[in-house]
């Protein structure tokens, strides 16, 4: 098998009664093991979808159904390790984000080992998203593929439609379990197995058919009277206490401030309830966060030991952040919004692109391996790098930029939404493409200005200076 490339992401899920406007939200930082790996924002039209699929990494071959749906995608620019589409929204407003790399344990791997020639993160969006018509159907299709082909890695995958959010976690080589997130709840999922208490008899759970018998037959359950899948199939390692659990702790602390929890706690809850309705801005803040206002902030005043103790959510290995929003208070033609930003999240801003389009803006679509500040991927990465050199010096520039940018993007979105009734059905996609181009142009202009303001201001504070002039 080709060298396996793994992501290490953070996901946030929000039910429709937990969001501020009644939308469902699934979101993720698409992180890698390297700081830079250019990505593109594209639309895969039905004629571009493969019929005979073969993975680059595992070489698995999968015959795909006829009549695929159109979908947005965020593939790698350099395809050495395959497409890696990451996430998207299809033409029926079904969203998918894949994947959150999770954890496992030796007990399950001894009974259901990974399949070297199976499917994995490289493949999942391509194999599933173009063929599903509801979030639940996404779970069922992916579950059947896992049972047929197996997988070579553990992953968590999110699905949503206008009514529901589902979360699926793979278990060993062929098993899986999924939970429908309650409408009034949210989830913060780091790189561990996240599902805890699981009710096999609930209408809001799905799993591989033999999973309960598999647990009982092999004496896998350490608990009495309940099935806690994290206890049964996941990990509770020292690495979890510093790499995974603190991210869930910080996100839960932000959304539910009254929760008294320890950042290293192994049993932080999976399903949570916020003390207020959750906005897109809230989700973006948490996915950009680095333990602000705690001693663990890498940019803060804590000791060097504390500042490097926990893995932050916003990190130099963020390749993109996507927030997939399916709205309920607008016509179906404009319900799917693919919010997107590239690079480390500390100095970028998500842009609300309409998903019902046939093409995407060039500045978000055309990134390759060549550095180019006219491309949003490279521009965002450059701004983050400069901001990291002196966070306190530049953070106010970032704060002003993000406030003004989000306001401007929302104004464009508001105007586009309001005018949609004036458009003929034949013209809607072209109209939305024009709105997306307007958003992209404004985003590029604002990000460029942010970088320029930082360069001008920072030049006066360089260490290479002297107080006397000629």
The catalytic residue positions are 9
DSSP 8-state class, residue 82: -
Count of C-beta atoms within a 10 Å radius of residue 319? 25
Strand partners, 29: 10, 321
**Torsion angle in degrees (nearest 10) through CA of 303, 260, 99, 103:** 80
Q: Assess contact for 43 and 73: CB atoms under 8 A.
A: yes
Q: Assess contact for 122 and 54: CB atoms under 8 A.
A: no
SS3 of the chain: helix, strand, coil, percent, to 5: 35, 20, 45
Which residues make Cβ contacts (< 8 Å) with residue 10, sequence separation at least 6? Answer: 28, 29, 31, 100, 188, 189, 190, 191, 247, 251, 287, 313
Q: How many helices (H) and strands (E) does the chain have?
A: 13, 16
- CA distances to 123, 346, 386 from 316, in Å: 25, 9, 12
Angle between helix 376-389 and 391-419 (nearest 10): 150
Peptide bond connecting 468 to the previous residue in cis, omega within 30 degrees of 0 = no
């Amino acid at each position: 098998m080709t060298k396996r490339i793994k992501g290490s992401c953070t996901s946030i899920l929000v039910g429709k009664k937990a969001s501020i406007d009644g939308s469902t939200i699934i979101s993720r930082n698409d992180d890698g093991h390297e700081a830079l790996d250019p990505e593109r924002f594209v639309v895969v039209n039905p004629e571009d979808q493969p019929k005979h699929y073969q993975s680059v990494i595992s070489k698995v071959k999968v015959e795909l159904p006829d009549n695929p749906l159109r979908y947005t995608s965020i593939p790698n620019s350099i395809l050495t390790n395959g497409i890696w589409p990451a996430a998207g929204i299809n033409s029926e407003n079904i969203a998918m984000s894949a994947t959150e790399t999770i954890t496992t344990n030796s007990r399950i791997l001894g009974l259901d080992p990974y399949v070297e020639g199976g499917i994995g993160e490289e493949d999942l969006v391509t194999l599933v998203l173009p063929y599903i018509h509801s979030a639940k159907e996404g779970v069922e299709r992916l579950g059947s593929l896992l049972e047929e082909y197996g997988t070579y890695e553990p992953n968590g995958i999110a699905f949503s439609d206008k009514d529901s959010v589902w979360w699926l976690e793979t278990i060993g080589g062929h098993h899986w379990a999924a939970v429908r997130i309650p409408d009034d709840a949210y989830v913060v999922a780091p790189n561990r197995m996240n599902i805890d208490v699981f009710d096999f008899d609930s209408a809001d759970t799905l799993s591989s058919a033999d999973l309960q018998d598999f647990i009982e037959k092999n004496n896998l359950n350490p608990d009495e009277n309940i099935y806690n899948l994290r206890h049964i199939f996941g990990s509770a390692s020292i690495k979890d206490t510093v790499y995974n659990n603190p991210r869930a702790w910080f996100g839960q602390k932000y959304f539910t401030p009254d929760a008294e929890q320890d950042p290293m706690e192994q049993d932080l809850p999976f399903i949570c309830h916020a003390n207020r309705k959750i906005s897109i801005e809230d989700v973006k803040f948490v996915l950009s966060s680095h333990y602000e206002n705690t001693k663990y902030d890498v940019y803060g005043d804590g000791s060097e030991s504390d500042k490097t103790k926990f893995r932050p959510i916003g990190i130099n290995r963020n390749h993109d952040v996507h927030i997939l929003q399916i709205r309920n208070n607008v016509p179906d033609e404009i319900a799917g919004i693919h919010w997107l930003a590239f690079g480390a999240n500390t100095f970028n801003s998500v842009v609300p692109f309409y998903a019902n389009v046939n093409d995407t803006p060039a500045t978000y679509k055309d990134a390759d391996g060549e550095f180019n500040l006219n491309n949003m991927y490279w521009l965002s990465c450059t701004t983050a790098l400069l901001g990291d050199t002196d966070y306190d010096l530049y953070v106010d520039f970032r704060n002003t930029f993000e406030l003004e940018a989000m306001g401007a993007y929302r104004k464009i979105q508001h105007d586009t939404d309001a005018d949609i009734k004036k458009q003929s059905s034949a013209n809607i996609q072209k109209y939305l493409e024009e709105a997306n181009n307007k958003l992209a142009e404004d985003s590029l202009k604002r990000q460029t200005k942010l970088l320029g303001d930082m360069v001008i201001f920072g030049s006066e504070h360089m260490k290479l200076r002297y107080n006397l002039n000629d």
